[in-house]
Protein backbone atom coordinates (compact mmCIF):
# COMPACT_ATOMS: atom_id res chain seq x y z
CA UNK A 1 0.00 0.00 0.00
CA UNK A 2 2.81 2.40 0.77
CA UNK A 3 4.16 1.72 -2.72
CA UNK A 4 0.79 2.73 -4.15
CA UNK A 5 0.78 5.93 -2.11
CA UNK A 6 4.28 6.83 -3.24
CA UNK A 7 3.40 6.14 -6.87
CA UNK A 8 0.19 8.15 -6.78
CA UNK A 9 1.87 11.12 -5.15
CA UNK A 10 4.68 11.02 -7.72
CA UNK A 11 2.37 11.25 -10.75
CA UNK A 12 2.42 14.50 -12.68
CA UNK A 13 -0.28 16.36 -14.63
CA UNK A 14 -0.14 14.95 -18.17
CA UNK A 15 -2.24 16.29 -21.03
CA UNK A 16 -4.80 13.67 -22.04
CA UNK A 17 -6.79 13.85 -25.25
CA UNK A 18 -10.27 12.54 -24.49
CA UNK A 19 -12.56 11.54 -27.37
CA UNK A 20 -16.02 10.08 -27.07
CA UNK A 21 -19.74 10.60 -26.62
CA UNK A 22 -20.47 13.69 -24.54
CA UNK A 23 -23.70 13.83 -22.54
CA UNK A 24 -25.49 16.02 -20.03
CA UNK A 25 -26.94 14.45 -16.89
CA UNK A 26 -29.98 16.31 -15.57
CA UNK A 27 -31.04 15.50 -12.00
CA UNK A 28 -34.52 16.43 -10.77
CA UNK A 29 -34.81 15.97 -7.01
CA UNK A 30 -38.09 15.85 -5.13
CA UNK A 31 -40.11 14.40 -2.29
CA UNK A 32 -42.28 11.35 -2.83
CA UNK A 33 -45.13 11.46 -0.33
CA UNK A 34 -48.05 9.79 -2.11
CA UNK A 35 -49.25 7.65 -5.01
CA UNK A 36 -51.00 9.36 -7.91
CA UNK A 37 -54.82 8.96 -7.97
CA UNK A 38 -54.57 8.78 -11.79
CA UNK A 39 -52.34 5.69 -11.92
CA UNK A 40 -50.36 3.46 -9.51
CA UNK A 41 -47.23 5.61 -9.77
CA UNK A 42 -45.42 7.77 -7.19
CA UNK A 43 -45.85 11.54 -7.33
CA UNK A 44 -42.55 13.45 -7.24
CA UNK A 45 -42.83 16.99 -5.88
CA UNK A 46 -39.85 18.81 -7.39
CA UNK A 47 -37.54 20.50 -4.90
CA UNK A 48 -34.48 21.32 -7.04
CA UNK A 49 -32.77 20.65 -10.35
CA UNK A 50 -29.11 20.07 -11.12
CA UNK A 51 -27.09 19.63 -14.32
CA UNK A 52 -23.90 17.58 -14.46
CA UNK A 53 -21.59 16.40 -17.19
CA UNK A 54 -22.14 12.82 -18.33
CA UNK A 55 -20.54 10.31 -20.65
CA UNK A 56 -17.14 11.49 -21.80
CA UNK A 57 -17.60 14.66 -19.76
CA UNK A 58 -17.74 12.58 -16.60
CA UNK A 59 -14.43 10.93 -17.48
CA UNK A 60 -13.02 14.42 -18.07
CA UNK A 61 -14.12 15.51 -14.59
CA UNK A 62 -12.58 12.39 -13.09
CA UNK A 63 -9.29 13.12 -14.87
CA UNK A 64 -9.32 16.72 -13.66
CA UNK A 65 -9.89 15.53 -10.08
CA UNK A 66 -6.74 13.42 -10.52
CA UNK A 67 -4.82 16.56 -11.64
CA UNK A 68 -4.63 15.69 -15.34
CA UNK A 69 -5.01 18.30 -18.08
CA UNK A 70 -7.79 17.39 -20.50
CA UNK A 71 -8.68 18.23 -24.13
CA UNK A 72 -12.17 16.99 -25.04
CA UNK A 73 -13.18 16.01 -28.59
CA UNK A 74 -16.86 15.31 -29.28
CA UNK A 75 -20.17 16.66 -30.55
CA UNK A 76 -23.02 18.63 -29.02
CA UNK A 77 -26.31 19.72 -30.49
CA UNK A 78 -27.06 23.29 -31.47
CA UNK A 79 -29.26 23.73 -28.42
CA UNK A 80 -29.40 25.05 -24.86
CA UNK A 81 -28.28 21.73 -23.41
CA UNK A 82 -25.20 21.77 -25.64
CA UNK A 83 -24.35 25.25 -24.39
CA UNK A 84 -24.85 24.07 -20.84
CA UNK A 85 -22.54 21.08 -21.33
CA UNK A 86 -19.88 23.29 -22.90
CA UNK A 87 -20.12 25.71 -19.99
CA UNK A 88 -19.69 22.91 -17.44
CA UNK A 89 -16.59 21.68 -19.29
CA UNK A 90 -15.07 25.16 -19.20
CA UNK A 91 -15.94 25.56 -15.52
CA UNK A 92 -14.03 22.34 -14.80
CA UNK A 93 -10.95 23.56 -16.64
CA UNK A 94 -11.42 21.15 -19.55
CA UNK A 95 -10.47 22.41 -22.99
CA UNK A 96 -13.52 22.19 -25.26
CA UNK A 97 -12.30 24.07 -28.35
CA UNK A 98 -12.49 20.72 -30.20
CA UNK A 99 -16.20 20.21 -29.60
CA UNK A 100 -18.22 20.22 -32.81
CA UNK A 101 -21.72 21.71 -32.77
CA UNK A 102 -24.14 19.93 -35.12
CA UNK A 103 -27.65 20.80 -36.28
CA UNK A 104 -28.87 17.30 -37.17
CA UNK A 105 -28.99 15.81 -33.68
CA UNK A 106 -29.68 17.09 -30.15
CA UNK A 107 -27.24 17.06 -27.26
CA UNK A 108 -27.59 13.73 -25.48
CA UNK A 109 -29.39 14.27 -22.16
CA UNK A 110 -30.14 11.73 -19.45
CA UNK A 111 -32.77 13.04 -17.05
CA UNK A 112 -32.88 11.28 -13.69
CA UNK A 113 -35.77 11.73 -11.28
CA UNK A 114 -34.59 11.25 -7.71
CA UNK A 115 -36.99 10.86 -4.80
CA UNK A 116 -36.87 10.67 -1.02
CA UNK A 117 -39.32 8.12 0.36
CA UNK A 118 -40.21 7.56 4.02
CA UNK A 119 -37.23 9.63 5.17
CA UNK A 120 -34.74 7.23 3.54
CA UNK A 121 -31.76 8.20 1.44
CA UNK A 122 -32.30 9.60 -2.03
CA UNK A 123 -32.93 7.08 -4.77
CA UNK A 124 -33.37 7.27 -8.52
CA UNK A 125 -36.95 6.37 -9.50
CA UNK A 126 -36.90 7.01 -13.27
CA UNK A 127 -34.48 7.89 -16.07
CA UNK A 128 -35.52 9.54 -19.34
CA UNK A 129 -33.04 9.68 -22.27
CA UNK A 130 -33.16 12.33 -24.97
CA UNK A 131 -30.89 11.25 -27.80
CA UNK A 132 -30.46 10.52 -31.50
CA UNK A 133 -27.75 7.93 -32.10
CA UNK A 134 -27.79 7.66 -35.87
CA UNK A 135 -24.38 7.74 -37.56
CA UNK A 136 -22.62 11.06 -37.78
CA UNK A 137 -22.47 12.65 -41.21
CA UNK A 138 -19.35 12.12 -43.28
CA UNK A 139 -18.48 15.80 -42.94
CA UNK A 140 -18.75 15.72 -39.12
CA UNK A 141 -16.73 12.50 -38.92
CA UNK A 142 -13.96 14.00 -41.07
CA UNK A 143 -13.92 17.16 -38.95
CA UNK A 144 -13.62 15.15 -35.72
CA UNK A 145 -10.81 13.02 -37.13
CA UNK A 146 -8.89 16.13 -38.15
CA UNK A 147 -9.32 17.58 -34.66
CA UNK A 148 -8.00 14.40 -33.02
CA UNK A 149 -4.95 14.28 -35.31
CA UNK A 150 -4.20 17.95 -34.63
CA UNK A 151 -4.59 17.56 -30.86
CA UNK A 152 -2.38 14.47 -30.63
CA UNK A 153 0.72 16.65 -30.86
CA UNK A 154 1.74 17.35 -27.27
CA UNK A 155 -0.66 14.82 -25.75
CA UNK A 156 0.58 12.13 -23.36
CA UNK A 157 -2.29 9.73 -24.03
CA UNK A 158 -5.41 9.30 -26.16
CA UNK A 159 -8.43 8.08 -24.18
CA UNK A 160 -11.44 6.88 -26.19
CA UNK A 161 -14.84 6.51 -24.52
CA UNK A 162 -17.33 4.49 -26.55
CA UNK A 163 -20.91 4.80 -25.30
CA UNK A 164 -22.35 3.58 -28.60
CA UNK A 165 -23.79 6.97 -29.53
CA UNK A 166 -22.10 7.31 -32.91
CA UNK A 167 -18.82 9.11 -32.35
CA UNK A 168 -16.63 6.00 -32.13
CA UNK A 169 -17.01 4.15 -35.44
CA UNK A 170 -15.21 1.87 -37.86
CA UNK A 171 -12.73 4.66 -38.70
CA UNK A 172 -11.42 4.68 -35.12
CA UNK A 173 -8.49 2.27 -35.86
CA UNK A 174 -7.05 5.00 -38.11
CA UNK A 175 -6.96 7.41 -35.18
CA UNK A 176 -5.46 4.75 -32.92
CA UNK A 177 -2.78 4.02 -35.51
CA UNK A 178 -1.97 7.73 -35.83
CA UNK A 179 -1.50 8.03 -32.08
CA UNK A 180 0.66 4.89 -31.83
CA UNK A 181 2.82 6.10 -34.73
CA UNK A 182 3.55 9.21 -32.63
CA UNK A 183 4.42 7.05 -29.61
CA UNK A 184 1.22 7.97 -27.78
CA UNK A 185 -0.55 5.17 -25.86
CA UNK A 186 -4.27 4.67 -26.44
CA UNK A 187 -6.78 3.48 -23.82
CA UNK A 188 -10.30 2.47 -24.88
CA UNK A 189 -13.36 2.00 -22.69
CA UNK A 190 -15.47 -0.23 -24.97
CA UNK A 191 -19.20 -0.48 -25.53
CA UNK A 192 -20.82 -3.90 -25.08
CA UNK A 193 -22.73 -3.81 -28.34
CA UNK A 194 -19.77 -2.96 -30.55
CA UNK A 195 -17.32 -5.17 -32.40
CA UNK A 196 -13.92 -4.85 -30.70
CA UNK A 197 -12.23 -4.75 -34.13
CA UNK A 198 -12.87 -1.00 -34.10
CA UNK A 199 -10.38 -0.79 -31.18
CA UNK A 200 -7.60 -2.56 -33.11
CA UNK A 201 -4.14 -1.29 -32.21
CA UNK A 202 -5.10 0.10 -28.81
CA UNK A 203 -2.55 -0.07 -26.00
CA UNK A 204 -5.24 -1.11 -23.52
CA UNK A 205 -8.97 -1.83 -23.46
CA UNK A 206 -10.94 -1.83 -20.18
CA UNK A 207 -14.09 -3.95 -20.62
CA UNK A 208 -16.19 -4.99 -17.67
CA UNK A 209 -17.02 -8.65 -17.17
CA UNK A 210 -20.17 -8.51 -19.33
CA UNK A 211 -18.46 -6.66 -22.17
CA UNK A 212 -15.55 -9.10 -22.20
CA UNK A 213 -17.94 -12.05 -22.25
CA UNK A 214 -19.88 -10.62 -25.19
CA UNK A 215 -16.70 -9.87 -27.15
CA UNK A 216 -15.24 -13.34 -26.68
CA UNK A 217 -18.13 -15.71 -26.00
CA UNK A 218 -16.28 -16.88 -22.86
CA UNK A 219 -18.18 -16.90 -19.56
CA UNK A 220 -15.91 -15.42 -16.87
CA UNK A 221 -16.37 -17.39 -13.66
CA UNK A 222 -12.76 -17.83 -12.48
CA UNK A 223 -9.21 -16.57 -12.95
CA UNK A 224 -8.71 -19.24 -15.61
CA UNK A 225 -11.68 -18.09 -17.67
CA UNK A 226 -10.67 -14.45 -17.20
CA UNK A 227 -7.25 -15.37 -18.58
CA UNK A 228 -8.86 -17.04 -21.61
CA UNK A 229 -11.11 -14.05 -22.30
CA UNK A 230 -8.24 -11.58 -21.99
CA UNK A 231 -6.05 -13.71 -24.24
CA UNK A 232 -8.82 -13.89 -26.85
CA UNK A 233 -9.26 -10.12 -26.88
CA UNK A 234 -5.53 -9.59 -27.40
CA UNK A 235 -5.22 -12.19 -30.17
CA UNK A 236 -8.51 -11.68 -31.99
CA UNK A 237 -8.60 -7.89 -32.02
CA UNK A 238 -4.95 -6.84 -32.18
CA UNK A 239 -4.90 -5.13 -28.78
CA UNK A 240 -1.76 -4.96 -26.61
CA UNK A 241 -3.15 -5.26 -23.08
CA UNK A 242 -6.47 -5.91 -21.35
CA UNK A 243 -7.91 -4.87 -17.99
CA UNK A 244 -11.22 -6.60 -17.22
CA UNK A 245 -13.13 -5.06 -14.32
CA UNK A 246 -14.81 -7.72 -12.16
CA UNK A 247 -17.01 -5.54 -9.89
CA UNK A 248 -16.57 -6.61 -6.25
CA UNK A 249 -13.77 -9.03 -7.17
CA UNK A 250 -11.48 -6.25 -8.44
CA UNK A 251 -10.01 -6.64 -11.92
CA UNK A 252 -7.96 -8.97 -14.12
CA UNK A 253 -4.93 -7.61 -15.96
CA UNK A 254 -3.16 -9.27 -18.87
CA UNK A 255 -0.13 -7.66 -20.50
CA UNK A 256 0.59 -9.06 -23.94
CA UNK A 257 1.63 -12.71 -23.91
CA UNK A 258 2.56 -12.72 -20.22
CA UNK A 259 0.31 -14.60 -17.76
CA UNK A 260 -2.43 -12.39 -16.40
CA UNK A 261 -2.97 -11.41 -12.78
CA UNK A 262 -6.04 -10.80 -10.68
CA UNK A 263 -5.89 -7.54 -8.71
CA UNK A 264 -8.31 -7.93 -5.77
CA UNK A 265 -10.18 -5.14 -4.02
CA UNK A 266 -11.82 -4.91 -0.62
CA UNK A 267 -15.61 -5.30 -0.19
CA UNK A 268 -17.66 -2.09 -0.35
CA UNK A 269 -21.09 -0.90 0.69
CA UNK A 270 -22.51 -0.16 -2.75
CA UNK A 271 -24.70 2.93 -2.80
CA UNK A 272 -24.71 3.78 -6.53
CA UNK A 273 -22.63 2.19 -9.30
CA UNK A 274 -23.11 5.19 -11.61
CA UNK A 275 -19.77 6.50 -12.82
CA UNK A 276 -17.57 3.79 -11.28
CA UNK A 277 -16.34 2.63 -14.69
CA UNK A 278 -15.56 6.21 -15.70
CA UNK A 279 -13.47 6.74 -12.57
CA UNK A 280 -11.56 3.52 -13.27
CA UNK A 281 -10.97 4.67 -16.87
CA UNK A 282 -9.63 8.00 -15.62
CA UNK A 283 -7.23 6.42 -13.13
CA UNK A 284 -5.95 3.94 -15.70
CA UNK A 285 -5.47 6.71 -18.27
CA UNK A 286 -3.52 8.84 -15.82
CA UNK A 287 -1.29 5.94 -14.84
CA UNK A 288 -0.46 4.93 -18.40
CA UNK A 289 0.09 8.55 -19.42
CA UNK A 290 2.74 8.69 -16.70
CA UNK A 291 4.27 5.33 -17.75
CA UNK A 292 3.13 3.67 -14.52
CA UNK A 293 3.20 -0.13 -14.24
CA UNK A 294 -0.18 -1.49 -15.35
CA UNK A 295 -0.72 -3.70 -12.30
CA UNK A 296 0.03 -0.80 -9.95
CA UNK A 297 -2.32 1.38 -11.97
CA UNK A 298 -5.03 -1.30 -11.77
CA UNK A 299 -4.68 -1.45 -7.98
CA UNK A 300 -5.14 2.34 -7.79
CA UNK A 301 -8.13 2.09 -10.14
CA UNK A 302 -9.70 -0.50 -7.81
CA UNK A 303 -9.51 1.95 -4.93
CA UNK A 304 -10.85 4.85 -6.99
CA UNK A 305 -13.76 2.80 -8.32
CA UNK A 306 -14.52 1.50 -4.82
CA UNK A 307 -14.79 5.02 -3.45
CA UNK A 308 -17.12 5.99 -6.30
CA UNK A 309 -19.70 3.26 -5.67
CA UNK A 310 -20.09 4.45 -2.07
CA UNK A 311 -21.46 7.79 -3.30
CA UNK A 312 -24.73 8.87 -4.87
CA UNK A 313 -24.46 9.93 -8.49
CA UNK A 314 -21.23 10.77 -10.23
CA UNK A 315 -18.76 12.45 -7.87
CA UNK A 316 -15.12 12.65 -9.06
CA UNK A 317 -12.55 11.06 -6.76
CA UNK A 318 -9.42 13.10 -6.05
CA UNK A 319 -5.86 11.92 -5.54
CA UNK A 320 -6.05 13.09 -1.93
CA UNK A 321 -9.12 10.93 -1.29
CA UNK A 322 -7.41 7.88 -2.78
CA UNK A 323 -4.34 8.48 -0.61
CA UNK A 324 -6.56 8.84 2.47
CA UNK A 325 -8.27 5.55 1.63
CA UNK A 326 -4.95 3.78 1.14
CA UNK A 327 -3.71 5.08 4.49
CA UNK A 328 -6.85 3.79 6.17
CA UNK A 329 -6.36 0.41 4.51
CA UNK A 330 -2.83 0.03 5.88
CA UNK A 331 -3.63 1.59 9.24
CA UNK A 332 -1.25 4.53 9.02
CA UNK A 333 -3.95 6.92 10.15
CA UNK A 334 -4.62 4.76 13.19
CA UNK A 335 -0.96 4.34 14.07
CA UNK A 336 -0.15 8.03 14.07
CA UNK A 337 3.52 7.75 15.03
CA UNK A 338 5.61 8.71 11.99
CA UNK A 339 9.26 9.39 11.18
CA UNK A 340 9.88 13.01 10.27
CA UNK A 341 10.33 12.56 6.50
CA UNK A 342 7.02 10.73 6.03
CA UNK A 343 5.33 13.19 8.37
CA UNK A 344 6.59 16.11 6.26
CA UNK A 345 5.07 14.55 3.13
CA UNK A 346 1.80 13.85 4.97
CA UNK A 347 1.52 17.44 6.22
CA UNK A 348 2.19 18.78 2.75
CA UNK A 349 -0.69 16.68 1.45
CA UNK A 350 -3.02 17.79 4.24
CA UNK A 351 -2.17 21.43 3.59
CA UNK A 352 -3.19 21.02 -0.06
CA UNK A 353 -6.60 20.08 1.32
CA UNK A 354 -6.76 23.42 3.15
CA UNK A 355 -5.84 22.25 6.64
CA UNK A 356 -3.71 24.16 9.16
CA UNK A 357 -0.96 22.49 11.19
CA UNK A 358 -0.51 23.05 14.94
CA UNK A 359 2.84 21.94 16.42
CA UNK A 360 3.91 21.46 20.00
CA UNK A 361 6.71 19.55 21.67
CA UNK A 362 7.86 18.24 25.02
CA UNK A 363 9.03 15.21 26.95
CA UNK A 364 5.55 14.04 28.00
CA UNK A 365 7.03 11.60 30.51
CA UNK A 366 4.33 10.17 32.80
CA UNK A 367 1.35 11.54 30.87
CA UNK A 368 -1.01 13.31 33.27
CA UNK A 369 -4.10 15.53 33.37
CA UNK A 370 -2.06 18.68 32.89
CA UNK A 371 -0.74 17.32 29.61
CA UNK A 372 -4.22 16.25 28.51
CA UNK A 373 -5.77 19.67 29.14
CA UNK A 374 -2.87 21.43 27.42
CA UNK A 375 -3.02 19.21 24.32
CA UNK A 376 -6.78 19.68 24.04
CA UNK A 377 -6.28 23.45 24.01
CA UNK A 378 -3.51 23.15 21.42
CA UNK A 379 -5.70 21.07 19.09
CA UNK A 380 -8.36 23.79 19.08
CA UNK A 381 -5.92 26.21 17.43
CA UNK A 382 -5.98 24.52 14.01
CA UNK A 383 -7.12 21.62 11.84
CA UNK A 384 -4.62 19.04 13.06
CA UNK A 385 -2.11 18.66 15.87
CA UNK A 386 1.45 17.36 15.63
CA UNK A 387 3.19 16.46 18.89
CA UNK A 388 6.97 16.05 18.81
CA UNK A 389 8.52 14.27 21.78
CA UNK A 390 12.12 14.20 22.97
CA UNK A 391 13.86 10.87 22.51
CA UNK A 392 15.17 9.01 25.54
CA UNK A 393 18.73 10.23 24.87
CA UNK A 394 17.53 13.80 24.52
CA UNK A 395 15.66 13.65 27.84
CA UNK A 396 18.68 12.21 29.65
CA UNK A 397 20.73 15.18 28.47
CA UNK A 398 18.07 17.61 29.70
CA UNK A 399 16.94 15.99 32.96
CA UNK A 400 19.64 13.56 34.03
CA UNK A 401 20.23 9.81 34.03
CA UNK A 402 17.06 8.99 36.00
CA UNK A 403 14.76 10.13 33.22
CA UNK A 404 12.70 9.30 31.29
CA UNK A 405 10.54 7.04 33.39
CA UNK A 406 8.65 5.83 30.29
CA UNK A 407 10.61 4.93 27.11
CA UNK A 408 10.03 6.90 23.92
CA UNK A 409 8.09 4.26 22.00
CA UNK A 410 5.56 3.89 24.82
CA UNK A 411 5.27 7.66 25.29
CA UNK A 412 4.61 8.07 21.58
CA UNK A 413 1.92 5.36 21.55
CA UNK A 414 0.14 6.81 24.60
CA UNK A 415 -0.02 10.23 22.98
CA UNK A 416 -1.20 8.72 19.70
CA UNK A 417 -4.07 7.09 21.57
CA UNK A 418 -5.54 10.54 22.34
CA UNK A 419 -8.17 11.29 19.69
CA UNK A 420 -7.35 14.98 19.33
CA UNK A 421 -3.71 14.26 18.43
CA UNK A 422 -3.22 13.60 14.71
CA UNK A 423 0.49 12.76 14.48
CA UNK A 424 3.39 12.03 16.83
CA UNK A 425 7.08 12.09 15.96
CA UNK A 426 10.30 11.70 17.96
CA UNK A 427 13.38 13.94 17.78
CA UNK A 428 16.89 13.29 19.10
CA UNK A 429 18.17 16.86 19.11
CA UNK A 430 18.25 19.03 22.22
CA UNK A 431 15.63 21.34 20.65
CA UNK A 432 12.98 20.87 17.92
CA UNK A 433 14.45 23.61 15.69
CA UNK A 434 15.49 21.25 12.88
CA UNK A 435 12.06 19.63 12.97
CA UNK A 436 10.35 23.02 12.77
CA UNK A 437 12.44 23.93 9.74
CA UNK A 438 11.33 20.73 8.02
CA UNK A 439 7.62 20.77 8.96
CA UNK A 440 7.02 24.56 8.92
CA UNK A 441 3.85 24.48 11.07
CA UNK A 442 1.21 27.17 10.71
CA UNK A 443 0.90 27.51 14.48
CA UNK A 444 3.56 26.81 17.12
CA UNK A 445 2.13 26.25 20.60
CA UNK A 446 4.10 26.04 23.84
CA UNK A 447 3.11 25.80 27.46
CA UNK A 448 4.90 26.90 30.60
CA UNK A 449 6.39 30.17 31.78
CA UNK A 450 9.70 30.16 29.92
CA UNK A 451 10.60 33.54 28.40
CA UNK A 452 11.98 32.02 25.19
CA UNK A 453 10.00 29.74 22.90
CA UNK A 454 12.41 27.73 20.79
CA UNK A 455 11.71 28.29 17.10
CA UNK A 456 9.57 31.39 17.55
CA UNK A 457 11.69 33.62 15.33
CA UNK A 458 11.80 31.05 12.56
CA UNK A 459 8.04 30.33 12.58
CA UNK A 460 7.20 34.03 12.59
CA UNK A 461 9.68 34.67 9.74
CA UNK A 462 7.43 32.85 7.22
CA UNK A 463 4.15 34.18 8.63
CA UNK A 464 3.41 31.44 11.14
CA UNK A 465 1.75 32.13 14.49
CA UNK A 466 3.27 31.44 17.91
CA UNK A 467 0.98 31.04 20.93
CA UNK A 468 1.69 30.38 24.59
CA UNK A 469 -0.79 28.30 26.60
CA UNK A 470 -1.08 28.15 30.36
CA UNK A 471 -0.34 24.80 31.96
CA UNK A 472 -2.66 23.37 34.61
CA UNK A 473 -1.31 24.53 37.97
CA UNK A 474 -0.17 21.85 40.36
CA UNK A 475 0.23 19.28 37.61
CA UNK A 476 3.74 18.34 36.50
CA UNK A 477 5.73 15.18 35.94
CA UNK A 478 8.35 16.29 38.48
CA UNK A 479 5.68 16.78 41.17
CA UNK A 480 4.26 13.34 40.49
CA UNK A 481 7.70 11.69 40.66
CA UNK A 482 8.51 13.50 43.92
CA UNK A 483 5.25 12.31 45.48
CA UNK A 484 5.99 8.75 44.45
CA UNK A 485 9.50 8.95 45.92
CA UNK A 486 8.17 10.49 49.14
CA UNK A 487 5.50 7.82 49.38
CA UNK A 488 8.08 5.07 49.00
CA UNK A 489 10.23 6.70 51.66
CA UNK A 490 7.36 6.84 54.14
CA UNK A 491 6.39 3.26 53.47
In angstroms, rounded to a whole number, what is the distance separating the alpha carbons of residues 171 and 296? Answer: 32
Question: Closest Cα to residue 86, out of 73, 104, 69, 67?
Answer: 73
DSSP state letters, 386-428: EEEEE-HHHHHHHH-TT--SS-HHHHHHHHHTSTT--EEEEE-
In angstroms, rounded to a whole number, what is the distance separating the alpha carbons of residues 44 and 249? Answer: 37
Q: Give per-residue burial for 386-414: e unless 16+ CB within 10 Å, then b.
A: bbbbbbbebbeeeeeeebbebebeebbeb
Question: Closest Cα to residue 390, out of 336, 437, 430, 349?
Answer: 430
Residue 482 burial by Cβ neighbours in a 10 Å radius (0-12, 13-18, 19+): exposed
Pairing of strands 22-35, 42-55: antiparallel
In angstroms, rounded to a whole number, what is the distance separating the alpha carbons of residues 304 and 323? Answer: 10
Q: What angle do CA 162, 168, 173 make, to 5 degrees?
A: 110
Cβ neighbours for 335, distance < 8 A, ≥ 6 positions apart: 416
Which run of H or E residues covers position 111? strand 108-117
> Cα(first)–Cα(last) distance of the chain, in Å?
54
Q: Is 451 a catalytic residue?
A: no
Q: Give per-residue burial for 217-238: e unless 16+ CB within 10 Å, then b.
A: ebebeeeebbbbbbbbbbeebe
Catalytic residue among 21, 71, 162, 278: 278
In angstroms, rounded to a whole number, what is the distance separating the alpha carbons of residues 488 and 491? Answer: 5
Alpha-helical segments (H) within 32-111: 56-65, 80-91
Question: Closest Cα to residue 85, out of 109, 114, 66?
Answer: 109
Question: Closest Cα to residue 464, out of 446, 481, 477?
Answer: 446
Q: Which residues are catalytic?
A: 278
Amino acid sequence: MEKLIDKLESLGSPRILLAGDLMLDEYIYGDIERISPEAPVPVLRVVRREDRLGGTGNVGLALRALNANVDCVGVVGNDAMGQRATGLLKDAGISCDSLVTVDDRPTIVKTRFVGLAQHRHQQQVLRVDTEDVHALTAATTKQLQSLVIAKLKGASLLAIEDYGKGLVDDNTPKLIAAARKMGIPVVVDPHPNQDFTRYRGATLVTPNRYEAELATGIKITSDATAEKAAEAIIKNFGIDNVLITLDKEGCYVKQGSKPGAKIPTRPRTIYDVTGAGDVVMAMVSLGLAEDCDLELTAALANVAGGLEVERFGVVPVSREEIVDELRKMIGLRRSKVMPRDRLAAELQRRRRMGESVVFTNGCFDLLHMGHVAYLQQAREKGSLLVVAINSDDSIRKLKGPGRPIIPEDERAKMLAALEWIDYVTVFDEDTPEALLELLRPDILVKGGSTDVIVGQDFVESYGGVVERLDMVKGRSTTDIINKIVEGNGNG
